[in-house]
């Protein structure tokens, strides 16, 4: 079977009269951690949202295994999981419920939902607060719930936007290990980060500045 490949060609995206991305190409194979780095406002979050089918580019194409990635396509949504900067969690639900509800939406059997939920919350170090409401958790704990929710889906593509920004050193390494494991197990993993230590853990890096790719480099992982 051909390895999974997420790719983009000539992406352009504008917000109002501002050009966010201009002629951006991406090549992200399975098994390979790709970092998207660059200064604040460089277009990292917009790029991940376009790659995940959340935003429609003004130009260019995105494909997953040579099939177009289109906004709202349910077949793509089933294959992609995202860790958003704002986490996207339901604050009135518990950590456990936030992870489980995403799996229930994928119509997984009840026993599998329970098993995946418990396993991923344990993996990110949150088993002891699984029944706490999201609104009662710290920012770093909420970030780890968002990571657990994405990992639990066992997606073909995992796009993580600053997934370690709120974490201390130990939990940063824990999350990076889990994302690395997901890639090595066959997922496409793309991480947007401004942290040079996170970028160094990846297999390659795509650097953005003012909407343009300024460098593509091999990583140090």
Separation between Cα atoms, residue 166 and residue 168, nearest integer Å: 7
Give 83's contacts (C-beta < 8 A, 6+ positions apart): 143, 146, 147, 149, 150, 158, 159, 160, 161, 163
Separation between Cα atoms, residue 40 and residue 61, nearest integer Å: 24
Verify that 149 and 186 share a domain, yes or no: no
For the whole prediction, is pTM greater than 0.85?
yes
What is the Cα gyration radius of the chain? 17
**Domain for residue 71, yes or no?**
yes
Verify that 30 and 104 share a domain, yes or no: no
Tokens of 106: 């994928």
Please report which confidence band the pLDDT of residue 142 belongs to, taking 50, 70 and 90 as the band edges.
very high
Please report which confidence band the pLDDT of residue 220 belongs to, taking 50, 70 and 90 as the band edges.
very low
Please report which confidence band the pLDDT of residue 171 belongs to, taking 50, 70 and 90 as the band edges.
very high
**Mean pLDDT to the nearest integer, 152-166:** 96
pLDDT of residue 77: 84
**Domain for residue 85, yes or no?**
no
Looking at the 3D structure of the chain, how many domains does it have?
2
Helices (H), 94-168: 95-105, 110-123, 139-152
Return the minimum-mean-pLDDT range out of 48-57, 73-82, 126-135, 151-160: 73-82
**Mean pLDDT to the nearest integer, 156-166:** 97
Look at residue 23 and tell me whether its pLDDT is greater than 60. yes
Give 80's contacts (C-beta < 8 A, 6+ positions apart): 52, 53, 64, 155, 156, 157, 158, 159
Verify that 57 and 112 share a domain, yes or no: no
Look at residue 53 and tell me whether its pLDDT is greater than 90. yes
Look at residue 2 and tell me whether its pLDDT is greater than 50. yes
Please report which confidence band the pLDDT of residue 216 belongs to, taking 50, 70 and 90 as the band edges.
confident
Verify that 34 and 52 share a domain, yes or no: yes
Verify that 160 and 145 share a domain, yes or no: no
Verify that 5 and 17 share a domain, yes or no: yes
Residue 10 domain boundaries: 1-79+156-193+202-221
Tokens of 42: 């460089």
């Amino acid at each position: 079977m051909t390895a999974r490949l997420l790719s983009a060609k000539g992406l352009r995206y504008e917000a109002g009269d501002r050009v966010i991305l201009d002629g951006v190409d991406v090549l992200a194979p399975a098994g390979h951690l790709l970092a998207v780095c660059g200064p604040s406002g460089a277009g990292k979050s917009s790029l991940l949202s376009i790659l995940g089918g959340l935003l429609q580019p003004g130009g260019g194409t995105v494909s997953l295994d040579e099939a177009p990635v289109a906004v709202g396509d349910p077949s793509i949504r089933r294959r992609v999981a995202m860790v958003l900067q704002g986490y996207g969690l339901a604050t009135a639900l518990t950590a456990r419920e936030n992870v489980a509800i995403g799996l229930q939406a994928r119509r997984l059997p009840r026993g599998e939902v329970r098993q995946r939920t418990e396993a991923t919350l344990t993996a990110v170090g949150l088993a002891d607060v699984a029944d706490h409401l999201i609104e009662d958790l710290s920012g770093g704990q909420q970030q780890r719930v968002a990571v657990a929710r994405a990992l639990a889906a066992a997606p073909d593509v995992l796009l993580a936007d600053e997934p370690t920004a709120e974490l201390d050193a130990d939990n940063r390494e824990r999350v990076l290990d889990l994302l690395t494991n997901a890639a090595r197990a066959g997922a496409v993993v793309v991480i947007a980060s401004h942290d040079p230590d996170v970028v160094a853990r990846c297999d390659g890096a795509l650097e953005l500045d003012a909407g343009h790719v300024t460098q593509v480099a091999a990583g140090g992982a």
